[in-house]
Amino acid sequence: MDTAYKKKLGSWGEERVDLWMQQNNWHPKEKNLRIHKGEIDRVYFFKSGEGIKKYCIAEIKTNIIHSKKSFLELFNEVGIKKYLKQRQIQNIYKFGEMYLANGKKNIYLRIFIVLKFNQKLKIKNTIHKNSPIKICLIHHEYIILSIEPEFTNINSRKSLLQIKI
């Protein structure tokens, strides 16, 4: 895959997550925020009816799935590591700690994986309900998954952040 195509695919995936988050009353506050040694894909903001503010710091990865086998490979540690780099995980933790240090509370970390289907796949019953990988949305062309940062087994500093997926 060439760089221009990867960028276009990544933007497409980010747009899909933005739409899903907005349907759940989370709104983009920051997009593709440049930080030291990388970037944060999204920071979302939620304000409840009681005035409680919540923030979601998100890393978004997008890929094309060609078969059910390639989809199922995602559910092991090696499969996850194909999508995520240690620096990306560390960046969302560090950025969350910065938000915490600035007095913001209710900070959530999410890793979204958007998988675009190359063919029709039956996915509904392939994820166990106790899996750290959660289905956010199943569309006939793609699926949005959410992964707990701890599941990646990538060493990050201990954090004071509230992590909820």
Lowest mean pLDDT among 8-17, 23-32, 61-70, 155-164: 155-164
Q: What is the CATH number of the domain that holds 33?
A: 3.40.1350.10
Q: Give CA–CA dist 41/34, Å, rounded.
A: 9
Which residues have CB under 8 Å from 22's CB, separation 6+?
28
**Inside any domain, residue 21:** yes
Judge if pTM exceeds 0.85.
no
Question: What is the overall mean pLDDT for the chain?
Answer: 81
Q: Give CA–CA dist 10/71, Å, rounded.
A: 18
**Inside any domain, residue 164:** no
**Inside any domain, residue 161:** no
Q: What are the pLDDT digits (tens) for 106-143?
A: 888 999 999 998 777 666 556 666 677 788 998 889 99
pLDDT tier at 78 (50, 70, 90 boundaries)?
low
The domain in which residue 42 lies consists of: 3-152
Q: What is the number of domains present in the chain?
A: 1
**Inside any domain, residue 41:** yes
pLDDT tier at 152 (50, 70, 90 boundaries)?
very low
Q: Give CA–CA dist 24/46, Å, rounded.
A: 9
pLDDT of residue 36: 82
**Inside any domain, residue 157:** no
**Inside any domain, residue 46:** yes
**Inside any domain, residue 90:** yes
**Which residue did the predictor score with more confidence, 151 or 48?**
48
**Inside any domain, residue 163:** no
